[in-house]
Structure 1
Amino acid sequence: MASHCFAEKGFRVFGVDISAVAVDWARSRFAASGLSGCFDQGDVCDLAHYPDATFDVVFDGSCFHCLIGPQRAACLKALHRVLAANGTLIISSMCGAPKQRTDLDRYDAHSGVLMVNGHPWRTLKPLDALIAEIADAGFMLVGQAVNVNPWWDHATLVYHQAPSPPVKAQACF
């Protein structure tokens, strides 16, 4: 768990997960290691309980590909808001079409959504579309690595906030 590694290096760690089981697991693991961290059950698409520009680093621990449709834009908007101006966003996400026949049969290439039992399960966009989606939310790609797997690929993407466009001087007469 990335948060464990950050805490071992002395960083203050906060975590959000929609699953109470995952939050309890993280709390237990930290306690067993003598580490401190603040873990909350919540929705990564609504981080209203965190003030603006709170975090220097935001690490997505393989959550982003679990978001479907408008959840993705809402999450990126929330992350942009809580990330400090010179902060770093790290996204760890499945990407590209599935490589196994059983998964390909359940994959909608147009939307990039993999279905399970008739319900959206994961978003698997092609790498270039994933990069563009995050860039369109106001982030600038500064690094990337792709782990090629037999079932689907997994990208680690590193972003900074994109510089704001300059404000043009306006004269009022």
Structure 2
Amino acid sequence: MTHRLPLVPLVLALALGVGCSTTTPADAGPQEVAAVQLTVEGEVTKIDTPSRLITVRGPEGNEVEVHADDTVRNFSQVRVGDRVTLDYLRSVTVDIQPAGSAEPGAYIKQKQDIAKTGERPRVGAAEIVTVLAPIRAIDLANNTVTVEGPRGNVVTLDVVKPEHRARLPQLKVGDMLRIAFTEAAAVRVTPKGG
């Protein structure tokens, strides 16, 4: 039976319910990347210091009230008229790792960047979830690859792109499909006129 799963649900299907390690395997080989990157800017129009609320007007005139929790250091430096920039990235990277190059499983890596005392307010965070699933079968006639997820769940994937189909004969049972899902966001405040 062949399951046709989009990439993000595939990551979830392979990793769901699995304890994740924080050690991520090293890169090796060509990768396929799909990414969406978005940047939105706005202007601070109102600050409620006791409640730590900032009102930001977006590029189309809409206003959003945002609560700056205690992780937002140097809140007192924010002024009406300052520019707030949000950068957001979501990507999926897929590649094949040679058999034995890493331990199959699910891995999670988190990074955080918070302004130090005295710096302009900023905060950034990234999370990378990586799943290494061993290849259990390769069907050249039907252009499919069957992988085993960390919980032992087996998923058969259709190989659709011609360039990927051309690489199927080079794969071996035991090689690993690696899927890395990255989500990152960063917010920074720039002084008015800066």
Normalised-by-shorter TM-score class:
under 0.3
**TM-score, normalised with respect to structure 1:** 0.24
**TM-score, normalised with respect to structure 2:** 0.22
Higher strand share: 2
Which structure has the greater CA radius of gyration?
A: 2
Higher helix share: 1
**RCO greater where, 1 or 2, for CA within 8 Å and sep 6 or more?**
2
